[in-house]
Structure 1
Amino acid sequence: MSTAHPASRIRRGGTICAAAVLAAGIALTPTSVAIAAQPLTAQPLSVQPLTARAATALGERLTSGLGDRTVGAYYDNAHLVVTVTDAAAADQVRAAGAEPRLVPFRRSELAAVTGLLNRFDRIPGTAWRIDPRTGRVRVTADPTVTGAALAKLTAQVRGFGAKARLERTARLRPLLSGGDAIWGQGLRCSLGFNVHDSSGNPGFITAGHCGVATNDWWADSWSYEHIASTQWADFPGTDYSYAAYDPGAEGPSAVNTGQEITGAGDASVGEPVTRSGSTSGVHSGTVTGLDATVNYEEGSVYGLIDTDVCAEPGDSGGALFDGATAIGLTSGGSGDCTSGGETFFQPVPAVLQAYGLSLP
């Protein structure tokens, strides 16, 4: 068994080069049947309608307090649903104005499953996360996972019994063809969010697999207008990078839809979100999972947001947001914006904390 891949960090002028990657899938036939989480209806519910951001804050407080008696929460039809494993926990959730749903396994039991998956030999083209809607671990494999590798993964998942299910996905493919388009050395990505460093100097954040592949950024495909230089990039392990603007250049606080961004926040399952990318433009959807692990050919990335928002090549690094709140940077996905797909995002708060950055 192998251990987790550490993040690769480079400074400006580094020579690391990585192919662009975007991962993940359209669910096909599961190898085991998941039992849906069940509502607890022994007592009347006092569920309160909430905005997605308010539900995120309440969900974080409740799941933190419940500890091992929950596997997470999700936003559903303007209400917060919190998974629970016992009646006392359900009462606590109701008292806070949320809806409890009974799940069969504790957080520690499912965390043990993902922990073992993280320690197994990694198979490129696979991903996994705890799914609060089913109370199980969802494992996906793309069509490149075949033969002995598929048999091995299937056996591993079956060994977890009802705690995990395996689904096939669309093929993992690079979305780096490179908000607004930014051009590197032989590639095109999308700008995520404009930021300032600890000294107040302006820059922007984008995907790490973009930053490790180029030291320089231009505003045009002919490399006439140089705008920024990569300062830090982390990939794999995490998937974020920071580039400092050239003297005299500075970006607005708004994304290219005109939406002002006033802060960063964590996502919640079921939250409606919008993504902007330089290839496919603006598309919306919902958060379907948190803390996902995706195994690219270059290595594994952890702690990603899973969504049903589509993305296409060139959208790498683009902004994911909910109103004025910055949520994520496009990391990987499959499908397209005609037939639909699944896309993973690097959470923005982790980027800001790692590099000591702030939003304008």
Structure 2
Amino acid sequence: MTRKFPTLSTLTALCAGLATAHGLPAEAAPAAASVSAMDVSPELLSVMRRDLKVSEEQLSRRLAFEAKAPALEKTLREELGGSFGGAWLNADGTQLIVGVTDEAGAERVRRAGAEPRRVARSQAHLDAVMAELNANAKNAGPSIHFWQVDVATNSVVVHADSGSGMSKLRNEAFVAQSRGAKDGTIRIVESTQAPQLAYDVRGGDPYYFSNARCSVGFSVNGGFVTAGHCGGAGTATSGHNGVAMGTIRASTFPTNDWGWVATNGSWTPQPWVYSYNNANVTVAGSQEAGIGASICRSGYTTGWRCGTLVAKNITVNYSNGPVYGMSHTNACANPGDSGGSVISGTQAQGVTSGIAGGCESSSPQTFFQPINPILSTYGLTLRTGGGSSGGKGFVSRLNGKCIDVPNSNFSDGVQLQMWDCNGTNAQKFTWVGSTLQIGGKCVDVANASTANGTPIQLVSCNGNRAQDFVLSGAGDLVSYLANKCVDIVGVNSASGAKLHLWDCNGAANQKWDYR
């Protein structure tokens, strides 16, 4: 599964979605737009201080201004028209700098409380040059890494491997088709790292080695565990998409049937097991289940299959030799499922080893290698993410109530509501990438609509951008698709109030704490 990254235009829209005033001059921004460090979760605040290398007081000033800046930028963009040359925040995020092409525009920017910067080119001109490069993208050779509008330098920047000879000529030929090459708009900047796609490691997905196929077991820091008979140490692997994945670091079979793959930088181990219905189960730990407990397993050949744990500590006498300390389930499997995830609830149990009667049998028997001995042997750490039982609730700052699935009905199309917080699974949400999942379903904007008043509902996870959300530092739960906020209908503080989509406005009925 490919990780999704917002495009530059999406990021711009997202920032606008985190604003709390819309289309108003700075002096008219409502008081509700004020944000401080006190509005941000302690966990997020700690990470921001660490990565931005600023104090809490500096963060408070930054957050307060960032909440107001998009509205001010929107107003100035509209008022300046053709003289607008782009806008950006200063280094500490407490001042809006606006590019202008004439002095009249500069004076308007000053009156609005922003800092003018005289530039040679308008935003419209920069965008037109960018569009010309985009139209010629098919002719960008591998030495061209990416290109962008850089409003702070009033240019369009092409990042490329400087190289020499033919590479340099190809770079110059690519930009020569644009007017920006003639009027100085385009700058070519040396780039030493070519962009590459990043992919997720997920339990149950296939991987390939030596013209054979197995399934991923569970993600660990640095890679994933799998069955030992799925390749020897030093064997190269590729992922479900054929992209080089990594190398089998260690492997034992028989006696034990365990191994692990160290993945390369293109792959990110995630705490997920694929349930083969467009949804992931988040792994919360590796607590060993008792005999008779429900067991499910995931693998590329037969998908998601469930049964019970029949026995532990058994010896399986394969033709290659015995394997000790195995477990036995009646959740069926077939060849190719080897190495795949075996899980009970949200707790990892082991990796699929072998079968005696597959999914076509009336009495299937599947043997799996318990996971904890694998982790212990290789000193690995299981990647975990909370799982449905370890999920968190979204608490409204309006009324202290929680987002809730009515009557624990996890059917497609059920509109989410507010209810007294009660700690049930109907209120426990888990982030899986940019999706919010609960009960095996995803939070969704109905019909992928961007209109105010669109219901916020549950739907089977399907990869649609209507299921992508972000929780901002200011407590806004924002739809990537609509660039609008999850909102309590009618500012209703009572239990049973429904949720829908609405323009972000900074009101308490749009503010959430994830805890």
TM range (shorter): 0.3 to 0.5
- With the length of structure 1 as denominator, give the TM-score of the two structures: 0.47
Output the TM-score relative to the length of structure 2: 0.33
Relative to its length, the structure with more helix (as a share) is 2
Q: Which has the larger radius of gyration?
A: 2
Q: More relative contact order in 1 or in 2 (CA 8 Å, sep 6+)?
A: 1
